[in-house]
Amino acid sequence: MGLFRKKLKQEHKVMLQAERAGGALLPEYHRATEECPHPERWHMYDSMTAEAEVLEFIQTLVTTIKPEMVVETGSFLGASTLWIAKGLKANGFGKVVSCEFDPVVFAKAKERIEASGLKEWIELRNESSLEMKIEGTIDLFFSDSDTPIRASEIRRFLPQISSNGVILIHDASSHMKVVRQAAFELEAEGLLSCVFLPTPRGLVVAQKREGRR
Ligand SMILES: C[S@@+](CC[C@H](N)C(=O)[O-])C[C@H]1O[C@@H](n2cnc3c(N)ncnc32)[C@H](O)[C@@H]1O
């Protein structure tokens, strides 16, 4: 039976692990990189949810730049969505639209968000970032979906991102080459200016170049 059992999708496996861990913080266990030689100094809930310190950073960024519209790609279990929503609640305005492609993961995220008391700040969508439609201007864009499509989703939303806005690109460590490379390419094309924060999984803080004054 074991031999023929369908392999669990990584997202579903981590979802079950996260449920079992019950919200406990662990030392970050992604491998050390040249830019982040001590990942164990950071904390994590699970290997899909952004590092705990990155979640705090995003919340602080929300209270710092006071966005009207936040877009997140890749909700997973809604942890980062909820940290963004906490920032919006502190601001007293704004909303976050977050999309999750996987219907099973989406259902779990929806459940958590419904129970959080922060639902009014969040619009959760079960769709792909490559199909999602957003009305108006985006002030904060958090790219955290499937790594190979990050460049495409950023290019897709770039025209709608405010030139005063901020773009966050997660998983841009030198270990996760594909996202780092995508950020280098967007920068080389003159589309973005990037700062590479040396967290265990890597976080790019970027701004679009077009329209800067
Ligand atoms: C790294 S996890 C997101 C973690 C979450 N932002 C957090 O920090 O709490 C990536 C998620 O993106 C989802 N995903 C993959 N491709 C997607 C797509 N094209 N559009 C939206 N979500 C996608 C995966 O199912 C997975 O749940």
Describe the strand order of the beta sheet including 138-143 as a list of residue ranges.
122-125, 95-99, 69-73, 138-143, 161-170, 203-208, 192-197
pLDDT for 62-105, tens place per residue? Answer: 999 999 999 999 999 999 999 999 999 999 999 999 999 999 99
Q: Please report the pLDDT score of residue 105 as a whole number.
A: 97
Q: Please report the pLDDT score of residue 23 as a whole number.
A: 85
Q: Please tell me the distance between residue 212's alpha carbon and the centre of ligand 1 in angstroms.
A: 30
Mean pLDDT for the stretch of residues 170-195: 97
Q: Please tell me the distance between residue 30's alpha carbon and the centre of ligand 1 in angstroms.
A: 18
Mean pLDDT for the stretch of residues 5-24: 83
Q: Please report the pLDDT score of residue 201 as a whole number.
A: 97
Residue 11 beta carbon below 6 angstroms from any ligand 1 atom: yes
Closest residue by CA, ligand 1 atom 16: 146
One DSSP character per residue, 25-55 reads: -EE--SPP-SS-S-GGGSEESSSSSPPHHHH
Q: What average pLDDT does the chain have?
A: 95
Residue 82 beta carbon below 6 angstroms from any ligand 1 atom: no
Mean pLDDT for the stretch of residues 178-201: 98
Q: Please report the pLDDT score of residue 1 as a whole number.
A: 43
Q: Which CATH architecture has domain 51-208?
A: 3-Layer(aba) Sandwich (3.40)
Higher pLDDT, residue 8 or 41:
41
Residue 107 pLDDT greater than 50, yes or no: yes
Angle formed at CA 159 by CA 157 and CA 165, multiple of 5 degrees = 80
Residue 48 beta carbon below 6 angstroms from any ligand 1 atom: yes
Q: Please tell me the distance between residue 6's alpha carbon and the centre of ligand 1 in angstroms.
A: 21
Higher pLDDT, residue 176 or 58:
58
Angle formed at CA 60 by CA 43 and CA 138, multiple of 5 degrees = 115
Give the range among 27-31, 67-71, 93-97, 163-167 with minimum mean pLDDT. Answer: 27-31
Beta bridge partners of 27: 43
- Please answer whether residues 164 and 171 qualify as being in contact, where contact means their C-beta atoms are separated by less than 8 angstroms: no
Higher pLDDT, residue 17 or 48:
48
Q: Report pTM.
A: 0.96
- Which of 84, 144, 155 is the pocket-test mutation for ligand 1 (most atoms within 8 Å of CB)? 144
Higher pLDDT, residue 15 or 119:
119
Higher pLDDT, residue 18 or 181:
181
Distance between CA atoms of 208 and 185, rounded to whole angstroms? 13
- Amino acid at residue number 213: R
Ligand 1 nearest-atom number relative to CA 50: 8
One DSSP character per residue, the chain reads: -GGGSPPPPHHHHHHHHHHHHTT--EE--SPP-SS-S-GGGSEESSSSSPPHHHHHHHHHHHHHH--SEEEEE--TTSHHHHHHHHHHHHHT--EEEEE---HHHHHHHHHHHHTTT-GGGEEEE-S-TTT----S-EEEEEE-S-GGGHHHHHHHHGGGEEEEEEEEEES-SSSSHHHHHHHHHHHHTTSEEEEEE--SS-EEEEEE-TT--
Residue 147 beta carbon below 6 angstroms from any ligand 1 atom: no
pLDDT for 111-149, tens place per residue? Answer: 999 999 999 999 999 999 999 999 999 999 999 999 999
